[in-house]
Amino acid sequence: DAGVTQSPTHLIKTRGQQVTLRCSPKSGHDTVSWYQQALGQGPQFIFQYYEEEERQRGNFPDRFSGHQFPNYSSELNVNALLLGDSALYLCASSLAIGQVQETQYFGPGTRLLVL
């Protein structure tokens, strides 16, 4: 079991560009959540996908959008990049949304640098 995988590992973009980050959940998991973690901060919730739909969303602008595919993998898209979007983007997968005790498994993250 490869666990949660993310690609790419690192990315450098310039302001105004668009970026797509990818995540494959742990085998058997059907729910994917995305987080943004700035340096020295805890992760901030962006949104969560279940059954190919956005089920929850944190306090992020519409520039942040996502998608979940039938195989449960997911993409995070960020348009019109700002310098402040530079962060580690974490994907977490879990099984059975609504199970209060279920553990989220995190991927290694994608480090995005916006110049």
Query: Where does this chain touch other proteins (CB under 8 A) — which range of 12-20, 61-69, 71-79, 107-115?
Result: 107-115
**Of these, 76, 92, 112, 114, which contacts other proteins (CB under 8 A)?**
92
CA gap 17, 14 in Å, rounded? 6
Tell me, rounded to whole angstroms, the distance of Cα 12 from its chain centroid: 17
φ, ψ at 76 (rounded to 5°): -115, 125
- DSSP tag of 9: S
Judged by beta carbon, residue 1 or residue 79, the one nearer other proteins is 1
Q: How far is the CB of 16 from other proteins (least distance, A)?
A: 27
**In residues, how long is the chain?**
115
Residue 113 has which token pair? 């640098």
Residue with token string 């992020």: 60
Specify the residue, 11 or 88, whose C-beta has the smaller distance to other proteins. Answer: 88
Give the binding site for other proteins (CB under 8 A).
4, 33, 35, 40-45, 48, 55-56, 58, 88, 90, 92, 97-98, 100-101, 103-109, 111
